[in-house]
């Protein structure tokens, strides 16, 4: 029943060999990885104005130079990350760059900041999308949290259906938003040039001249507007999602995204200033611009729908990147192993589900207000930017010393990444300083908590691997008698040895082993090593391209029952952690296999559980 429901909601499962076919075109990738950055233009100008408006309308003119400074920062970061995608086509962004060039601690700090950014991006994007919807339809405002939760569930479902499927779905609203935004900004500029651009009723004028605006206020406004850069690094994290040649496609997409981002940010800020738009509690700045320009005509509602869709779908960027980062870290031992498992649609389902759960919780706690979440935003982003550029500087210097590639090209990369590191580091401290008491101080303990949690998980896995090492295990030869014992092998470690020992101890007429692999090379390796360790126990390795271990094992036992007429005993080694609460760090595959075999109707396969205890020596 569970398999039928999964197929109904998610569609037909895909074989592993279809992974390359699931990759994205440049156009689809811009929609999947660029929606976050594009959507930030819908509220970046508003965040700048919210800081300046308290000083009166004269202070609002500072929004123009602030936006120009942010646009220059976009150029610097985009150029730097174009070098990242060429140097690290395997993806991973700050985690991969820092791990390779700076070591474990910077890599985990960068990954922690990126994870927090992804969670905030998903929540802020949904909350901002709902704000755009309630601006056009105020009667929905009391239901904003419920609408946001439904939005997260919908995006989760679309991503669980596969990368190519979500890319195709998200392309249409993303390019619709790009078109309607270009039309709105272009029409606004046309009316400005012809002298017909309308303005809103001006608020009370400030008596303070522009020169009286304090440096701290300018820094706060600048840091608030830097939310426009969130999501710009997403492409570097998901390079492997592009069709071949991956790096070339990622670099082109990065350039297009930066150009659109600059055009939208400067266009919205310019129109907001010329039209004397100020932030309102019940309507967004971009909504006021469109409503004033189009005068509540149908095209205004079309604009609001496009804004709502891009803000809503901006939450998809972390859904594209976070599961990949979590899977990469899980393979390195910093996350629970199940986060590295591909689901039936060739996506990392555990990461998608985890991101959805945390985002829903944060949305409920914040009450669905964008401005309640913005102070936490961008701090972690710029920490990741800085660590990435520092790692690239080390990489470039190493390339120069090794005299690899063209020297002039390496020098150019070094200059670009050095400028990027200097700029993003300065902005990181500006953002942290200006937003510290508004809530940004919470980011530092959150990063620290994630950092130490990942270190603790890695230490635990290292101790488990040491405890399960075959080198510490002694072999035992036992005579045999009448039953068939099948040892189920998940990995060549002490569990396999203990399983073989117990199977021999049952005095069977025959002993064999069975292993399910997702990749032929891995299966061949297991078979070769097994035949060296246990030359008297034959092993069958079966390739499962759909990564469904349990059905493959059930099918194997069905075939064994047809040719073996005696008793069959499935020997299942099970890892038992020292502390029960650490079981969630393991896949629980053995338990699922045991339950499935016992539920199999008409089966005479008996289960023999082999608990393999590990004492990692860690104190709770």
φ/ψ bin of 619: left (φ > 0), alpha (ψ from -120 to 50), beta (otherwise) = beta
A 10 A CB-CB count for 208 gives 12
Tokens of 313: 């779908």
The span from the CA of 488 to the CA of 593, in Å, is 10
Q: What are phi and psi of 137, to 5 degrees?
A: -130, 80
195: helix, strand or coil: coil
Contact 81, 258 (CB under 8 A): no
Q: DSSP per residue over 37-82, as a string? A: HHHHHHHHHHHHHHHHGGG-GGGGGGHHHHHHHHHHHHHHHHHHHH
Contact 10, 160 (CB under 8 A): yes
Tokens of 343: 């689901």
The span from the CA of 574 to the CA of 611, in Å, is 5
- CATH of segment(s) 23-200+225-459: 1.20.1740.10
Burial classification of residue 288, based on how many CB atoms lie within 10 Å of its CB (0-12 exposed, 13-18 middle, 19 or more buried): buried
Burial classification of residue 132, based on how many CB atoms lie within 10 Å of its CB (0-12 exposed, 13-18 middle, 19 or more buried): buried
377: helix, strand or coil: coil
User: pTM above the 0.75 mark?
Assistant: no
The span from the CA of 167 to the CA of 174, in Å, is 10
Q: What are phi and psi of 230, to 5 degrees?
A: -65, 130
Q: DSSP per residue over 236-256, as a string? A: HHTGGGBPSSHHHHHHHHHHH
Q: How far is CA 102 from the centre of its chain?
A: 22
The span from the CA of 123 to the CA of 42, in Å, is 15
Highest CATH level, class, for 471-613? alpha beta
Q: DSSP per residue over 132-179, as a string? A: HHHHH-GGGGGGHHHHHHHHHHHHHHHHHT-HHHHHHHHHHHHHHHHH
Contact 485, 569 (CB under 8 A): yes
The span from the CA of 518 to the CA of 522, in Å, is 8
> Within the chain, how many helices (H) and strands (E) appear?
22, 5
Tokens of 185: 């900004």
Q: What is the pLDDT of residue 479?
A: 41
Residue 433, CA atoms < 13 Å, CB-side half-sphere: 14
Mean pLDDT by 10 residues, the chain (620 residues): 56 60 77 81 83 70 89 90 83 82 90 86 80 77 87 86 66 88 92 85 50 67 80 79 83 91 93 86 83 86 84 78 87 88 76 91 79 66 87 87 73 87 86 74 85 91 79 44 84 88 86 91 90 89 84 88 85 78 69 82 80 65
Q: What is the pLDDT of residue 620?
A: 40
Contact 546, 518 (CB under 8 A): no
The span from the CA of 493 to the CA of 465, in Å, is 8
Q: What is the pLDDT of residue 472?
A: 45
516: helix, strand or coil: strand
Report which secondary-structure segment, H or E, holds 574.
Answer: strand 568-576
Q: How far is CA 518 from CA 348, 547, 558, in A?
A: 15, 6, 21
608: helix, strand or coil: strand
Q: What are phi and psi of 88, to 5 degrees?
A: -130, 75
The span from the CA of 333 to the CA of 341, in Å, is 13
Q: What are phi and psi of 608, to 5 degrees?
A: -125, 105
Domain boundaries, the chain: 23-200+225-459, 471-613
Q: What is the pLDDT of residue 197?
A: 84
Angle between helices 407-435 and 63-87 (to 10 degrees): 130
Torsion of CA 346, 349, 351, 355, to 10 degrees: 130
Q: DSSP per residue over 416-439, as a string? A: HHHHHHHHHHHHHHHHHHHHGGGT
Contact 450, 116 (CB under 8 A): yes
Contact 395, 384 (CB under 8 A): no
The span from the CA of 135 to the CA of 141, in Å, is 8
Closest CA to 159 of 51, 9, 287: 9
Q: What is the pLDDT of residue 375?
A: 62
Report which secondary-structure segment, H or E, holds 566.
Answer: none
The span from the CA of 69 to the CA of 265, in Å, is 11
Q: What is the pLDDT of residue 617?
A: 55
The span from the CA of 234 to the CA of 253, in Å, is 11
Q: What is the pLDDT of residue 477?
A: 43
Contact 199, 356 (CB under 8 A): no
Q: What is the pLDDT of residue 266?
A: 93
Which residues, listed in sequence order, are joined to residue 605 by a DSSP beta bridge? 568
A 10 A CB-CB count for 297 gives 12
Polymer length in residues for the chain: 620
């Amino acid at each position: 029943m569970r398999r039928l429901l999964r197929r109904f909601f998610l569609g037909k499962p895909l074989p592993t060999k279809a992974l390359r076919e699931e990759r994205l075109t440049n156009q689809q990738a811009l929609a999947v990885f660029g929606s976050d950055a594009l959507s930030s233009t819908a509220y970046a100008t508003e965040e700048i104005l919210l800081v300046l408006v308290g000083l009166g309308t004269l202070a609002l003119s500072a929004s123009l130079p602030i936006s120009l400074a942010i646009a220059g920062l976009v150029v610097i970061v985009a150029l730097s990350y174009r070098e990242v995608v060429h140097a690290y086509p395997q993806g991973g962004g700050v985690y991969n760059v820092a791990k390779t060039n700076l070591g474990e601690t910077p890599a985990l700090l960068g990954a922690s900041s990126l994870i927090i950014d992804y969670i905030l991006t998903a929540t802020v994007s949904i909350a901002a999308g709902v704000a755009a919807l309630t601006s056009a339809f105020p009667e929905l405002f009391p239901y904003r949290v419920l609408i946001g939760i439904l939005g997260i569930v919908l995006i989760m479902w679309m991503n669980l259906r596969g990368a190519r499927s979500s890319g195709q779905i998200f392309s249409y609203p993303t390019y619709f938003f790009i078109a309607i935004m270009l039309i709105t900004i272009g029409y606004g500029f046309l009316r400005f040039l012809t002298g017909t651009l309308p303005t809103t009723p001006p608020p009370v004028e400030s008596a303070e001249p522009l020169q009286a605006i304090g440096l701290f206020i300018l820094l706060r406004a600048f840091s608030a507007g830097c939310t426009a850069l969130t999501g710009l690094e997403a492409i570097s994290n998901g390079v492997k999602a592009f069709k071949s040649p991956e790096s070339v496609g990622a670099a082109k997409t990065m350039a297009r995204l930066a150009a659109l981002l600059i055009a939208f940010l400067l266009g919205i800020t310019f129109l907001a200033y010329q039209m004397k738009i100020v932030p309102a509690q019940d309507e967004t700045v971009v909504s006021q611009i469109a409503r004033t320009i189009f005068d509540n005509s149908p095209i205004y509602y079309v604009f609001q729908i496009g804004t709502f869709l891009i803000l809503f779908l901006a939450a998809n960027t972390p859904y594209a990147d976070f599961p990949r980062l979590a899977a990469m870290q899980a393979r390195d031992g910093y996350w629970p192993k199940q986060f590295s498992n591909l689901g039936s649609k060739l996506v990392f389902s555990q990461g998608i589900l985890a991101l959805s759960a945390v985002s829903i919780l944060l949305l409920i706690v914040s009450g669905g207000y964008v401005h309640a979440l913005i102070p936490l935003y961008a701090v972690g982003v710029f920490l990741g930017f800085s660590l990435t550029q520092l790692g690239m500087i080390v990489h470039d210097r190493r390339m120069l010393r090794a005299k690899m590639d063209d020297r002039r090209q390496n020098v150019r990369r070094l200059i670009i990444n050095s400028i990027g590191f200097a700029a993003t580091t300065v902005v990181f401290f500006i953002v942290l300083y200006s937003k510290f008491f508004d809530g940004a101080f919470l980011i530092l303990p959150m990063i620290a908590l994630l950092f130490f949690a990942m270190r603790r998980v890695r230490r635990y896995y290292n101790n488990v691997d040491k405890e399960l090492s075959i080198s510490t295990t002694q072999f035992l030869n036992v005579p045999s008698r009448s039953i068939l014992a099948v040892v189920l092998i998940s990995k060549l470690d002490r569990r396999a040895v203990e399983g073989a020992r117990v199977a021999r101890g049952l005095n069977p007429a025959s002993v064999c082993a069975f292993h399910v692999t997702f990749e032929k090379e891995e299966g061949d390796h297991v078979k070769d090593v097994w035949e060296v360790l246990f030359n008297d126990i034959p092993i069958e390795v079966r390739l499962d391209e759909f990564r469904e271990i349990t059905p493959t094992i059930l099918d194997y036992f069905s075939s064994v029952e047809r040719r073996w007429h005696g008793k069959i005993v499935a020997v299942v080694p099970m890892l038992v952690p020292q502390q029960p609460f650490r079981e969630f760090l393991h896949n629980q595959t053995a338990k699922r296999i045991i339950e499935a075999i016992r539920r199999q109707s008409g089966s005479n396969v008996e289960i023999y559980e082999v608990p393999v205890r590990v004492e990692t020596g860690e104190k709770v």
